Structure 1
Amino acid sequence: MIQAWLNWRNGLVIMATAIVIAVIFYSQYLSHKLEADERKKVDAWVEAQKAILTSNDGTTLALAAKISLENTDIPIIETNERDSITGNYLNLDSTRAAQSANYLPNMVARFRKLHPPIVVVLKEQPLQANKYYYGRSFLQQQLRYYPIVFLLIIALFTTLAFLFMKTSYQSTQNQLWAGMAKETAHQLGTPVSSLQGWVAVLKEDENSLPFALEIEKDVNRLQLVTDRFGKIGSTPQLEQKDITEQIGNMLDYMKKRAGNHVVFSYSHPSHPVFATVSAPLFDWVIENLLKNALDAMEGKGFIELKLQEQGQKIWIDVTDTGKGIPQQNLNKIFQPGFTTRKRGWGLGLTLTRRIIEQYHKGLVFVKWSEPGKGTTFRIILDNPAIAETKKPT
């Protein structure tokens, strides 16, 4: 359990989390340290103001004036003992103070929440005193926001790195599966060609003709599979086809191999529905979905195909009454190699998505699935008839 959890991805996450936490704590430490230093500066400035108000010594006044002028970044507002603003303030926007009567009172209220005021008593009886409210310097404000900016930069960098790795992984994956498909087509090509030759020889013998015709059907099927694999990884030739007929032909083919305990239903518009497809690859998609449906039902149940036009799109739904797909597997079923069967490579749905989304610019997804009740896959393609009517004349 521990060994499975301790991998390089989790290690990177732990390291990144530790760095972020360290940066946050260190920036908070610096902020508190700077805040203490600024408090000392404000105390010195207030003492200088007190000296200016009460001292008659020239040297003291000169030193106090120098200390007062050295504060160029910490905002300070002076009020009397009743918190009425005297008009003496430092490092604030004088233009806004002149134009808005609420600017200085609002700043006093804000500073009061940050720090308690520094009080200078000028006279005991009756009480006369000045209060000095102060805020944060620009440097301290930057330091307090630094962790947030840092986290945003880390998040942006992590997102970009993740997207790059994901794209790179998908590209490598696509190249791998395309290469395997092409190599499979290449390896099948020679024996299929040889079988076609032997079928031609068998046809010359009248006694072997019935067997030759049946063998020829299987050889043609192998040739079709070879052609399909050969088209993976290359740009297929797309043309407008009546997919009502295409789906019907594939459904008839699967019916003969499904057994008597599977009931098929096919609903579609009464008129031909055209789509721009590669006929061999589109047939492969329908065949994959029907095979998945048959496997899910284990030879017994109901399969419904529904073809409908929805505005600029064509919807093709394949519904079965099989065992359904668990929620935790819905995001995995299109991944290469994922399968719940004891046999199989887990490539059927992967190639189905590649054919529909990359070659035909459509969509394929699980519309609905419930364990024990069944599953519906939906294919969405562009409707060329609607697209043609929308072209400008």
Structure 2
Amino acid sequence: MANKDQLYQYNNQQRWKVFLFLFAALIAAASLFYTNYLVKSLSRSERTKAEVWAMSTRSIVTMPDVDDQFISFVYAVRDSLSIPAIITDDKENIIFWRGLDPTKTNIKEHKDSAESQKLEYDPVYFEKQLAAMKRNHPPIALHLETGEKWSVYYMDSDALRQLRIFPYLQLSLIAIFLVIAYTVFNAIKKSEQNLVWVGMAKEAAHQLGTPISSLMGWLELVRAKFDAEDDSILNEMERDVKRLEIVADRFSKIGSVPTLTNHVVYQVVQDFVQYFRIRTSEKITFEILGDKTVEAKLNVQLFDWIIENLLKNAVNAIESEGKITINIVDNIAKEEIFIDISDTGKGIPKSNFDSIFQPGFTTRKRGWGLGLSLTKRMVDYHQGQIFVKESELGKGTTFRIILKSNLRYEPTQV
């Protein structure tokens, strides 16, 4: 029941994450939709203003004899336009403009010309502005009574351009804030969880100390009473009690900095397998292959725990009869050691390759789903990696541990 409840809680947390992500996506979509609506409304308004400006400019040019008061009104309407605009004739010659850089346009007097004044402009600047306006909006066509056709080009106002990019800027800032908040929240949560784990582990080690000491004493009394110094059964019992001492010592060291020293990997693995195999079904065989000389910096007690958890998982996966193979490979080119632990068990679905290392995840009817989570953490203490190298349903699984072989290790708190 315990593991089912934990699996339910884990799945429930995943659903909440998906729900929150969808809710955030909905807010983002609503924000973009509303901003797009405002942009379209403002764009229509600016086009109307551009049309009014164009018509007022045409009125000034084509109706020179109108009443001065009306002309003043038309000028006021024309000058009210605040967006950049250009009017060209049917030969793409620029006739009028509005809202452009005044340093690029001027009026000069020409004494040697029939005209007293002439409007001049920077051709390169106007060419770029006209090209930008053509890309920005389709032109407004003006048909004159003379048969000429003018084209009015205009550009979005600064307010409209800023409004177009504002939602993306806003959502980016919100996303950055949420990522930072999520990271900080996770860090605080993990820190609190670590404190709970450390407290529980040290208390478990303390509680185990007294009965383990008593068991050692009782074994000595049994040997003395029955004169059984070399009894094989009592010797194995003593090995198990010493194993309990090692387990208690592991828990007592959680929260402290583990000491890593050079060890021959093959020898450490072989010592543990010899202890483990006689406590496993005779139908399961063990084989250790690979380099027998390569060394790595290890904390033997923690590394034994890694191998123990992986072997127990392999035994549970085999269920009845099968084989467990441990292959140690020295990858000299990358200064790494590969430790592949393979079994002939039932295999793992690919969809669970990453999930199996998460706390509380288990496919067994009984269990807490903590073994592989602790294993990954202890591999991290050795500054290594662990992952499912390959697995096939009904044929078996291979876990790979990667350790550095020739690097100096910085101590990490357990």
Q: 1:20 aligns with which of 22, 28, 37?
A: 28
| Aligned-pair CA distance for 1:248 | 1.2
| Aligned-pair CA distance for 1:235 | 1.4
TM-score (norm 2): 0.81
Q: 2:39 aligns with which of 31, 35, 41?
A: 31
State the partner residue of 1:106: 131
**Would the alpha carbon gap of residues 15 and 365 (structure 1) be closer, same or farther in structure 2, given more than 3 Å must change?**
closer
Instruction: Find runs of 4+ consecutive structure 1 residues off by over 6 angstroms.
Output: 4-7
Give 2:345's aligned amino acid: G
User: Is 1:352 matched up with 2:375?
Assistant: yes
User: Is 1:79 matched up with 2:91?
Assistant: no
- Structure 2: distance between partners of 1:8 and 1:264: 44
1:10-68 CA distances to partner (integer Å, 9 max, x unpaired)? 66445434433432232223223322322332233223312332324444444444444
TM-score (norm 1): 0.85
Structure with larger RCO (C-alpha < 8 A, sep 6+): 2
- Structure 1: distance between partners of 2:77 and 2:404: 76
* Long gaps (5+) in structure 1: 389-393
Q: 1:117 aligns with which of 140, 145, 150?
A: 140
State the partner residue of 2:117: none
Q: 2:161 aligns with which of 120, 141, 157?
A: 141
Give 2:85's aligned amino acid: I
State the partner residue of 2:317: 296
State the partner residue of 2:353: 330
State the partner residue of 2:189: 169
1:196-255 CA distances to partner (integer Å, 9 max, x unpaired)? 222233332243543643432221121111112222222111111111210111122222
Matches within 5 A, 1:197-212: 197-209=217-229, 210=231, 212=234
Matches within 5 A, 1:1-393: 9=17, 12-13=20-21, 15-53=23-61, 54-56=63-65, 57-72=67-82, 74-80=83-89, 82=90, 84-86=92-94, 88-92=96-100, 98-99=123-124, 102-104=127-129, 106-111=131-136, 114-121=137-144, 123-124=145-146, 127-209=147-229, 210=231, 212-270=234-292, 272-310=293-331, 311-357=334-380, 359-384=381-406
| Aligned-pair CA distance for 1:191 | 0.7
| Aligned-pair CA distance for 1:281 | 0.5
**Would the alpha carbon gap of residues 368 and 140 (structure 1) be closer, same or farther in structure 2, given more than 3 Å must change?**
same
State the partner residue of 1:391: none
Question: Does the Cα contact within 8 Å between 1:76 and 1:89 map onto a contact in 2?
Answer: yes
Which of 25-34 and 98-107 deviates more?
Answer: 98-107
- Structure 2: distance between partners of 1:362 and 1:97: 66
Question: Does the Cα contact within 8 Å between 2:56 and 2:77 map onto a contact in 1?
Answer: yes
**Would the alpha carbon gap of residues 171 and 365 (structure 1) be closer, same or farther in structure 2, given more than 3 Å must change?**
farther
- Structure 2: distance between partners of 1:132 and 1:36: 15
- Structure 1: distance between partners of 2:307 and 2:404: 17
* Long gaps (5+) in structure 2: 1-11, 105-120, 410-414
1:298-346 CA distances to partner (integer Å, 9 max, x unpaired)? 1411211111111321111111111111223222211222222233322
Which of 210-219 and 240-249 deviates more?
Answer: 210-219
| Aligned-pair CA distance for 1:286 | 1.0
Question: Does the Cα contact within 8 Å between 1:317 and 1:379 map onto a contact in 2?
Answer: yes
1:341-369 CA distances to partner (integer Å, 9 max, x unpaired)? 23332221111111111x21111111111
Question: Does the Cα contact within 8 Å between 2:141 and 2:149 map onto a contact in 1?
Answer: no
Question: Does the Cα contact within 8 Å between 2:387 and 2:399 map onto a contact in 1?
Answer: yes
**Would the alpha carbon gap of residues 165 and 327 (structure 1) be closer, same or farther in structure 2, given more than 3 Å must change?**
farther
> Residue 35 of structure 1: SS of its match in structure 2?
helix
- Structure 1: distance between partners of 2:237 and 2:278: 17
Which of 11-20 and 173-182 deviates more?
Answer: 11-20
> Residue 357 of structure 2: SS of its match in structure 1?
coil
| Aligned-pair CA distance for 1:273 | 1.5
- Structure 1: distance between partners of 2:186 and 2:279: 40
Which of 89-98 and 168-177 deviates more?
Answer: 89-98
Give 1:198's aligned amino acid: W
